[in-house]
């Protein structure tokens, strides 16, 4: 779903990442840390997830992720709901 959304938007897909059987806290997930490293290196500026609960299950964690992405000039998009958190221009 996330890849189809990104393709429909005309975005290049830098990678597909998935953590399986790891702690619920995204900051402790290897694939999530890899995604954030890519965002910090400015190799991507949009993080697309299929559903928000794939990245975090509580609003505070989602807010913290969105805040960090915003500081990097990036944003988070949930393909299923159209939720998007984009930095102010």
pLDDT, tens digit (0-9, with 9 covering 90-100), for 51-60 = 988 888 888 9
Residue 40 pLDDT > 50: yes
pLDDT for the residue 84 = 74
CATH code (residue 30): 3.40.50.1390
**Total number of domains constituting the chain:** 1
Task: Give the chain's mean pLDDT.
Answer: 88
**Largest interatomic CA distance in the chain:** 37
Beta bridge partners of 48: 77
What domain range is 26 assigned to? 2-85
Specify the pLDDT at position 89. 45
What is the reported pTM? 0.84
């Amino acid at each position: 779903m996330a890849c189809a959304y990104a393709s429909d938007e005309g975005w290049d897909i830098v990678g597909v990442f998935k953590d399986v059987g790891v702690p619920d806290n995204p900051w402790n997930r290897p694939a999530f840390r890899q995604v954030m490293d890519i965002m910090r290196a400015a190799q991507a500026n949009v993080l697309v997830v299929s559903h928000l609960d794939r990245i975090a299950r509580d609003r505070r964690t989602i807010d913290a992720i969105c805040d960090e992405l915003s500081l990097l000039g990036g944003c988070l998009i949930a393909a299923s709901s159209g939720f998007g958190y984009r930095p102010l221009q």
